[in-house]
Structure 1
């Protein structure tokens, strides 16, 4: 985002609440004793934008954040940008790398690139679970015989495959648009797929272990 600095003044600081891009903590970011900068289109206008620097309130993080807000202090942009949080436990590294890149692309409004990396995440899941086929459509069909997850998630994988097709190929037009909403829904769906493939079994085992401890105590 470009901000044209025609007329600027130092201004009061106000509370900025957002999610930290470094640690994922949501809270009110701390001021650093540095005044914000207010920008004006010309000398006859009211404040157009505010620019400032804040610090994460999480004591174990304290990461920096630069923000731009409108005249109502509604955040328009942060740098580093906010990243959608998700549970990384038990996800293989290559799958994790692909999905993290999809999330980073989304956080920087690179939605087509994010769609392509979501598709890459599916490909890595297929490789990890030994699904075979000469294209992703056939690999996903084979994947259904190798993992136990709800049919709705398997169907969703094919929708995500089509989204990735649209992103990578000009002639593909399954989706009318690949924008913020489409990618955010796709990322949330992919998170559920990762949970089902890699985390539910581990969570069940933790529950069984707790049950075993209870049984031994009685």
Structure 2
């Protein structure tokens, strides 16, 4: 149980609906980077609004001024967290659902889940682009590489993706935040090159 939970259950803190000191953050719902001063600061009962510790440190629920959804921020904790990466247009629904689920896993710090979902995503993409079903993961990665669905300068990326995919599945090891960011960024790049950019040209 963290300090915040203890303070709330002990009655040391309360929610107070009012304007807040402005804070910038990336909204976990719409993905927009916003600066908001609307919400409910977390206050110590009896403390002055402008002098208490929590208000000075921008702690509480902030309302996104883009989508109007609430984000809770406490020190380095943000709920919901930032969904790493960007939405990609022109992606088949089944493939896109896996990509967005991986981004949602990242937002709740489920980094091993993110890596495993990205592994599944790459298999979906390979099959959608013409690979046979029921192949091994490494065969799908080789298919994407050999058929030039991946940039010719992405050999280091490919090697890392093979490594992370195998570790997350076959070894007792928890993936790190950096692992999740790398494979998500690779998936975003792959989806944009093979779906979003071609769809823009086809629509012109």
C-alpha contact (below 8 Å) 1:137/1:161 kept by paired residues: yes
Unmatched tracts of structure 1, length 5 or more: 40-45, 70-75, 210-218
C-alpha contact (below 8 Å) 1:37/1:50 kept by paired residues: no
1:157 to partner: Cα distance: 3.7
> Out of 184, 199, 204, which is 1:202 matched to?
199
Q: Paired residue for 1:26?
A: 33
Q: Paired residue for 2:49?
A: none
Aligned with 1:181: secondary structure? helix
CA distance in 1, matches of 2:28, 2:137: 32
Unmatched tracts of structure 2, length 5 or more: 46-51
Q: CA RMSD in A?
A: 2.9
Q: Paired residue for 1:63?
A: 69
Taking structure 2 as the reference length, the TM-score comes to 0.77
Aligned length: 188
1:62/1:8 CA distance change after superposition, 3 Å = closer
Taking structure 1 as the reference length, the TM-score comes to 0.72
C-alpha contact (below 8 Å) 2:123/2:137 kept by paired residues: yes
Matched, 1:98 2:98: yes
CA distance in 1, matches of 2:131, 2:181: 27
Matched, 1:54 2:54: no
1:37/1:161 CA distance change after superposition, 3 Å = farther
1:92 to partner: Cα distance: 1.2
Runs (4+) of structure 1 exceeding 6 A deviation are 9-12
